[in-house]
A and B are shown apart, each in its own frame.
Chain A
Amino acid sequence: MIRPIVEWLEHRTGIETAVKNFLYEEIPASAGWRQVLGSVAIFCFLVQAFTGILLAFNYAPTPGEAYNSLKYIVTEVAGGRLIRGLHHWGASMMMVVVMLHLAQVFLWGAYKKPRETTWMAGVALLLVTFGYGLTGYLLPWDNRAYWATVVATQIAANSPGIGHYLSRLLGGEGAIGVVTFARFFALHVMILPPLTALLIGVHVYLVRKHGVTPEAGDTAPKKKFYPEQVFRDTIGIFVAFVILFLMAALVETPLGKLADPTDTSFIPRPEWYFLWLFQLLKFFEGPLEVVGSHILPGLAVLALLATPFIDRGALRRVRQRTLAGGVLGLAVLGLASLTAAAIATTPKTQETAAETGGPRDWQQLSPEELAGIGYFRKENCASCHAAGEGGAGIGPDLTGTAIRKSAAWMIQHFKSPQRMMPGTSMPPIQLSDAQLNSLAAFLLKLDPRNAKALYSAPQYAVEGAMVYQQNGCAACHQVNGAGMKIGPSLNGLAQRRSREWVEGHFADPRKLSPGSLMPPYRFTPRELERITSYLLAL
């Protein structure tokens, strides 16, 4: 059945011959496990392309939507967390594999004549891989993405001579925004992938043209690529894939908070593969900065490209290449110590110190905070924000907000979300200043342990607290330690007074408490019922 189709295709396209030529390519007898890294690198690229396309099916590349759509992918789309994990950890894996491949080729001297151009295409592929990293981790539009982009565009802008044009090209002139985002996205998905495919094509073509580099002194008869070497490649690829899959499935892929240019508590750090460059910049200040940001990295790339022209001796056994081994060892040591220094100097994030010691349930909240729950419910905040359990996940989880934001920030944010959080899809909240204060007061007390008060606080108490707050009762009375002490504290009122007494007292305080300073309050029957019930529950 299949045979006639294959023959038909072979006759029209020559595909079978082409595949056979590819598989039965002759390779040196000394080829072995060390040659699998190139194939693993190509496999990594294919996994990145595949998962990247899948992500693009549910992703909106604009600052306003990127974060929310990515959150949607990881929290709501079936299998989305795994696909994103594969793409995220796949990027790191590709970086590792490409560097190992480069180190192996360097150590064995496989770049020597006539393979100089193969090596140079490989160096270009290394740079492209870094390019993916840089343009890729902007795309989640979380804090790390934002600051990495700020720093990267600033470095580009400081390039001697062409900085201004580079900055304009990256859309980073002025502020980081929709244009920058579009350009980085276009680079990541439209420029780099075809460029990578082209470079891989050139690279593999050159490998085939010159043949796999034999070990020095290998005079044994050649062997076929298939099946023995393909077997080794497959094992190498499979091991890499299993590691990648386990990481994607088991390790949580980081997604920080929505990018917030005003958040000064965030400590920007690049991905691990840029940490050495990040650390290098610290050593050069003022006019010398360009040395760390451009000259040294530029020289390193030049040195890599020039390697085949510097080391032009005859091919030697790897054990005899002590100088090359020394150079590689020094390079690894340098990069590793820069990276280690960068990690060591990164302060621990504040988020572990989340012990705010807030109250545990609604009865311990002040009336103002409890009224905040009322506004939280009234404005349907939970339809977008998670707060502990329950609530949707479009907006950030609010249980950690208190650690990072002030009341003033929150109130500005309620009034004009776009101004404080560019790109957010949150609508402005239409409440009075006093009501917004109350909402902010509650959110400042919210932590993961007391978040259940949001759902458990009975509606009568919440409404009662809103009446209490709207009438400024706290100007004279204390509840749970909040408010003034002109009048008596209202905690434990139920032990002292009956419902009738409290209701009658609101209507005419002086009748029941002669000499009282409290003015009479004209509540609607519902308001009276709610505030009385609330106070009696304290």
Chain B
Amino acid sequence: MTGPAEPSRRSFHTTVIYGLWTLIAGALSLPAAIYLLVPPRARKEGQWVEAGDVAQLPLRSPEEVVFRRNRVDGWKITSEKATAWVVKLSEKDVVAFAPQCTHLGCAYHWDARHGNFLCPCHNSVFSIEGKVLAGPAPRPLDRYQAKLADGKLLLGPVGEAQS
């Protein structure tokens, strides 16, 4: 059983065993990690969505605007209801805030009495320009890309506000 060649033969066996199993484990776990962690190839989403007429919108009085948009949801494109808090800051400047608090995503609302946005979950307070006034929110309200065309408000994707 134990000839002089035995130890090197044994170490050859163990080296091959560990080496090949490492290869197999790598060849399986690397694609698995890519599969789970790399975001899927993006599909083109509808670029701009019409969110309504803002000509009648009073100055500095936020209004929750409801519109429909298409969203890529895994293997589906769903047409879903979406909302934006639209504020006409001046005749030329209309902003549309994404309706989630930047803290943990609760839906905030306009508190007309105090003139600011209030999140009911953890009491974050935002100014009419979206700036954080109080509470745990880490950044100003996110905004939709917005542009005006013939008095109609067109909304694009949501991005973080530049503060």
- Whether the pair A77, B28 counts as a contact (CB closer than 8 A) is no
Our pick among A72, A227, A241, A383 for the contact of B40 (Cβ within 8 Å) is A72
Residue of B nearest to A47 (CB): B28
Of the candidate stretches B29-37, B94-102, B145-153, the one touching chain A is: B29-37
Cα–Cα distance between A245 and B25 once the two chains are bound (Å):
12
Cα–Cα distance between A394 and B40 once the two chains are bound (Å):
14
Our pick among A83, A230, A238 for the contact of B24 (Cβ within 8 Å) is A238
Map CB proximity to A onto B85-98 as digits: 1 under 8 Å, 0 otherwise.
00000000000000
Of the candidate stretches A50-58, A161-169, A473-481, the one touching chain B is: A50-58
Residue of A nearest to B10 (CB): A227
| Interface presence of B61 (CB below 8 A) | no
Q: B67-83: which have CB < 8 Å to A? A: 70, 74-77
- Contact partners of B38 in chain A: CB under 8 A: 78-79
| Interface presence of B27 (CB below 8 A) | yes
Our pick among A54, A72, A231, A235 for the contact of B35 (Cβ within 8 Å) is A54
Residue of A nearest to B12 (CB): A231
Map CB proximity to B onto A191-223 as digits: 1 under 8 Å, 0 otherwise.
000000000000000000000000000000101
Known pairs A77-B40, A234-B16; A425 contacts B76 (CB<8 A): yes
- Whether the pair B36, A57 counts as a contact (CB closer than 8 A) is yes
| Interface presence of B106 (CB below 8 A) | no
Cα–Cα distance between A47 and B24 once the two chains are bound (Å):
10
Map CB proximity to A onto B1-45 as digits: 1 under 8 Å, 0 otherwise.
100000000100110110011011001100110111011110110
Give the total of B residues in contact with A, Cβ under 8 Å.
28
- Whether the pair B43, A76 counts as a contact (CB closer than 8 A) is yes
Residue of A nearest to B37 (CB): A78
Of the candidate stretches A63-71, A331-339, A504-512, the one touching chain B is: A63-71
Our pick among A79, A221, A228 for the contact of B13 (Cβ within 8 Å) is A228
Q: A69-95: which have CB < 8 Å to B? A: 69, 71-72, 75-80, 82-83
Q: Classify chain A's interface size.
A: 35 or more
- Whether the pair B1, A58 counts as a contact (CB closer than 8 A) is no
| Interface presence of A237 (CB below 8 A) | yes
**Closest CB-CB distance, A20 to chain B, in whole Å?**
14
- Contact partners of A392 in chain B: CB under 8 A: 43-44, 77
- Whether the pair B32, A241 counts as a contact (CB closer than 8 A) is no
Q: A50-B32, A221-B1 are in contact. List 19 more A-B contacts (CB 8 A).
A: A50-B28, A54-B35, A69-B74, A72-B74, A76-B40, A76-B43, A76-B75, A78-B38, A78-B41, A230-B17, A231-B16, A231-B17, A234-B16, A235-B20, A238-B20, A238-B23, A238-B24, A392-B43, A392-B44
- Whether the pair A83, B43 counts as a contact (CB closer than 8 A) is no
Known pairs A54-B35, A57-B36, A221-B1; A394 contacts B76 (CB<8 A): yes
- Contact partners of B75 in chain A: CB under 8 A: 60, 65, 68-69, 71-72, 76, 394
